Structure 1
Amino acid sequence: MSLWRLPAAEQARGIRAGEWSAEEVMRSVLDRIAQADPDLRAYCTLDDSALDAARRADTARRVGEPLGPLHGVPFSVKDLIPTAGVRTTLGSVAHRDWVPAEDEIAVARLRAAGAVLVGKTNARELGYGVVTDNALFGSTRNPWDPRLTAAGSSGGAAAAVAAGMGSLALGSDGGGSLRVPAAVCGVFSIKPTFGVVPLYPSCRAPLRVGLDSWESLECIGPMSRTVADSALVLEVIAGFDAQDRHSAAPGSVTWGVPDAERARGLRVAYSPDLGIAEVAPEVAGVVRAAVTAAAAALDWDLTVVSPRLPALPELRETFLATVAMDTDRSALRRLADEVPVSADIRELVDRDWTAHEFDRARVARRAVHDAVHGFSAPFDLLLTPATAATAFPAGLRFPRDGECGIADGRQWSPFAFLANLTGQPAASIPAGRTAAGLPVGLQALAPRFGDPLLLDVAQAVEELRTPASCFA
């Protein structure tokens, strides 16, 4: 049996039952990485102690120690998230040798639940951009077609999970960095409600230049091939921690096993384009078919909506100004003058931002929050495409104009960052594939603290689809 093919929940069950050992699961995943990663470049650092940690997990089981829900299960961590004793480069030449002294809270909680770190997955430099390449490790490729991008900035995580190089990955999302790569790599991911998963030290402590960016936008969340696996991770990593000054109050969310039956009879808003975006016809068709099928099977009261939002350029300006406000731009500018940086960072630090622009963005962000709340209040959730186009050639920041079915390539990801501005939970659910076999994602947004509802809906959609994998 190829143990790397199994979902995390099944790997954990077999380890607890003694059907296989944690070491056997880890060796299977490492063998899969050795086979698949040379073409994909999903991993940038492997943890040299992974096999020893797996053996310790097996010893703990043999001597009767209490076992956590993920005991012995391998997991990976995006290279923007600190891991004690394991190199964390942030995708930056300036940080290429940094080895943190402490784990991110979510990493520590996964380890406490018995999960075993495999290694770090590639990321866009400091998270600035929706592709995954950097001067240290190159470009992460899409498992469905290695000529194409895995998107980003959690592209290494998405490619690793999609290709079977670990059933669980931890990533981060400041403007779609979990959901966008999940969509184009055909896996599931959820950005939780802002504050539900505590962050520390990432985004909260100025340990390294750029690490503390994305203060009011960033969330950490899971990627997996099944909804149930992501739900299992969220139950472990969510919950109040006083180290995070934005941590949600205890009991804000009650977790449980996703249940498709709870997704029946919902009032659902569906917007093919949010009234602001151009969507590639084939992407629009795949998403529409998935929404129509789910509505019929689950008895949804489905309403097609076109909300009144600011034009896309204005929304992007609000988002970019928010990113700039969250960033120590002086320190980042000094870093950019000392080492080569990505075009995304260069554009941010070279722009002469004004107080008026920041004031306008703060007001606009409040207006966006109110507008989204207003049009979605009568509904249980809002559905949109996850991206406007499918994966495009690796090495590019965005598709060329006129390619991938949209006129303006820069606008290929117009949907995801909205949920970061509002703090809502949002998930990218595999919706189907194009005629060329490329994955398409369906985005679902719920009210704040509606994370369990998103998991129920995603479970229901998952059960309606014929499973597909790039390694079948």
Structure 2
Amino acid sequence: MTEVEAGSGEWAAPRSTTALWTLSATELLAALRGGTVTAASIMESVLDRVAAVNPLLNAFVEVDSAGALKAAHAADDAYRRGGAGPLSGIPFSVKDLHPVRGMRTGHGRAVRETEPDTEDDLVVERLRAAGAIPFGKTRSPEQGYSYSSMSSDGVAARTPWRLDYGAGGSSSGAAAAVAAGMGPLALGSDGGGSIRVPAALCGVVGLKPSFGRIPAFPVADAFTAPRVHIGPLARTVADAALFLQVAQGADSRDPFSWSDPMEAGLAARRPGPLRLAWTESPQGAPPVDPEVAAITGEAARRLAQALGSAPPTPSSGWEDQSEVQRVLWECGLAMRYPGPVDSSCPAPLRRLVQRGRTWSMADLGAAGRARTRLFHHFREFFENWDVLMTPTCPVAGWPHDRTPGLTPGREDALLSGAAVYPFNLTGNPAITLPAGWTCGGLPVGLQLITGWRADPLLLEVAHVFEQVRPWTSRRPVLRLPDSGNGG
């Protein structure tokens, strides 16, 4: 198969209003409740789309078509009986770091497990109980270690906007799948921007809720993983809110989880005016690509106008946190590989593990103290500001076979996440939204951050931005090899 062109600045409207894979979860739910479609027809449409598009994008490592269709027919029975759940019949995919009953979890390794999981991840369990249907596992770099979209089998997930570019990481396949219509919702995880970076590079919504709002289980050591957030990748803010409403809430298996009565209804609430701040590039980070800076800066001004707020006030941001993230992340990876690291692991991952084994308790303690200072910095910051806005990623993408970085001389992958991983360290909620597209047709993400546990405000502001800068009608053109027609 020759390389297939994608993107190039073109936009493709859905060819038919009955193409169910083009619809959002919110639209699909309305149709299901109105009796105009069936869950089985939705699932068939999504599976057909996966069959057509996944060979180009490598988003999925496993698809359970038979199990998904069986669950879809059960959802149709539930609608007929009047016993449907809040997400009955809605397909969703799961990042291949999270177990799904009946599917295998490969953790991005070169060789995936041969035996299927017997239990669900806690969030999969909640979504399934609400009637949503897990239908496939999406690609991730091994153990989610990188912003790369390549797993250890040497295959990379591609952004559908340009097939020689990667989807970002580590929720790589999740972002590519949602962007290309292979399911309206995807479960991702974010330990340093792993939802937000790929969402930005693929032109979809990526939500990192406040730490602990969505519980995590199973986790090998619940007390040494307090940076990883579970969250959705979706086409719309309303879809992300639907996911969050079902997935959130305390669970005794996660000692850091908590609950509050946040609801998902967005249309009736319009916040503003608000105190808005803008940081183009954190202290110590390389400058943002000029086109990315222009697109996100204009998006921030448009949002301020829509809220009836003063123009965003430039903020000096925060001190460089790369060493803090490096120590904590590398120590965490070292604990996941207590013995010899298999030769099938990519060389960058092996280096991270080896460095993780060299950090001392003093280094770890210093990182913890620096993290505490950062938390208090933003605690005080959000006493004076309601929303902080930044470009999600300093560039609009990079080739799928290259280590994420900004220039050939600066290949440190942390440079690509300078605006995102600090909010894993603090636990503040953050969301990335499509802000626009470059002249070359690549999407650019705008990140919004709010104060401690202020997720409702974050979603309300994101919803306002979606109304003034709608993006869902814009789809990448995928020229399918079997027909040559637009996808």
**What is the letter of the counterpart of residue 93 of structure 2?**
S
Which of 286, 289, 305 in structure 2 is aligned with 1:280? 289
Q: Which residue of 2 aligns with 1:295?
A: 304
2:348 is equivalent to residue 334 of structure 1: no
Which of 92, 96, 119 in structure 2 is aligned with 1:102? 119
C-alpha displacement of 1:190: 0.7
The DSSP-based 3-state class of the residue aligned with 2:94 is strand
1:44-63 alpha-carbon deviations (Å, 9 max, x no partner): 1001411111111112222x
Q: Which residue of 1 aligns with 2:220?
A: 205
2:239 is equivalent to residue 235 of structure 1: no
C-alpha displacement of 1:84: 1.3
C-alpha displacement of 1:317: 1.1
Gaps in structure 1 of 5+ consecutive residues: 207-211
Q: Which residue of 2 aligns with 1:57?
A: 75
Q: TM-score, normalised by structure 2?
A: 0.89
Which of 305, 322, 325 in structure 2 is aligned with 1:319? 325
**What is the letter of the counterpart of residue 220 of structure 1?**
I
C-alpha displacement of 1:374: 2.4
Contact 2:104 2:112 (C-alpha < 8 Å) held by counterparts: no
CA distance in 1: counterparts of 2:244 and 2:269, whole angstroms: 20
CA distance in 1: counterparts of 2:151 and 2:314, whole angstroms: 39
The DSSP-based 3-state class of the residue aligned with 2:368 is helix
1:183-232 alpha-carbon deviations (Å, 9 max, x no partner): 0100001100000001111xx236xxxxx797110111011111101100
Q: Which residue of 2 aligns with 1:446?
A: 450
* Pair 1:172–1:279, CA change in 2 (3 A): same
CA distance in 2: counterparts of 1:35 and 1:213, whole angstroms: 42
Contact 1:333 1:349 (C-alpha < 8 Å) held by counterparts: no
Contact 2:75 2:89 (C-alpha < 8 Å) held by counterparts: yes
**What is the letter of the counterpart of residue 339 of structure 2?**
R
Q: TM-score, normalised by structure 1?
A: 0.92
* Pair 1:162–1:335, CA change in 2 (3 A): farther
1:308-358 alpha-carbon deviations (Å, 9 max, x no partner): 632x3xx1110121224445x35504251x342123421222121112211
CA distance in 1: counterparts of 2:309 and 2:327, whole angstroms: 38
- Counterparts of residues 298-309 of structure 1 (less than 5 Å): 298-307=307-316, 309=318
Output the aligned Cα RMSD.
Answer: 2.1
Runs of 4+ in 1 over 6 A off after TM superposition: 406-409
The share of aligned pairs that are identical, in percent, is 39
1:410-448 alpha-carbon deviations (Å, 9 max, x no partner): 623211101000011000011011111110000011112
CA distance in 1: counterparts of 2:268 and 2:401, whole angstroms: 39
- Counterparts of residues 197-276 of structure 1 (less than 5 Å): 197-201=214-218, 204-205=219-220, 215-248=225-258, 250-251=259-260, 253-259=261-267, 261-276=269-284
CA distance in 1: counterparts of 2:154 and 2:240, whole angstroms: 27
Which of 97, 107, 113 in structure 1 is aligned with 2:130? 113
The DSSP-based 3-state class of the residue aligned with 1:69 is coil
Larger relative CO (CA 8 A, sep 6+): 1 or 2? 2
1:237-295 alpha-carbon deviations (Å, 9 max, x no partner): 001110111112x32x5122123852320111111113333101000000001011111
The DSSP-based 3-state class of the residue aligned with 2:47 is helix
1:114-144 alpha-carbon deviations (Å, 9 max, x no partner): 1111111101100100122112361000100
1:146-169 alpha-carbon deviations (Å, 9 max, x no partner): 110100100100000000000011
Q: Which moved more, 1:427-436 or 1:130-139?
A: 130-139
Which of 421, 425, 428 in structure 2 is aligned with 1:424? 428
CA distance in 2: counterparts of 1:443 and 1:354, whole angstroms: 34
1:346-382 alpha-carbon deviations (Å, 9 max, x no partner): 1222121112211111111111111222233201111
CA distance in 2: counterparts of 1:258 and 1:111, whole angstroms: 24
CA distance in 2: counterparts of 1:65 and 1:24, whole angstroms: 19
Q: Which residue of 2 aligns with 1:149?
A: 166
1:14-49 alpha-carbon deviations (Å, 9 max, x no partner): 122221111100000001111111000001100141
Which of 87, 110, 113 in structure 1 is aligned with 2:104? 87
Gaps in structure 2 of 5+ consecutive residues: 1-17, 478-486
The DSSP-based 3-state class of the residue aligned with 1:217 is coil
Q: Which moved more, 1:72-81 or 1:272-281?
A: 272-281
**What is the letter of the counterpart of residue 282 of structure 2?**
L
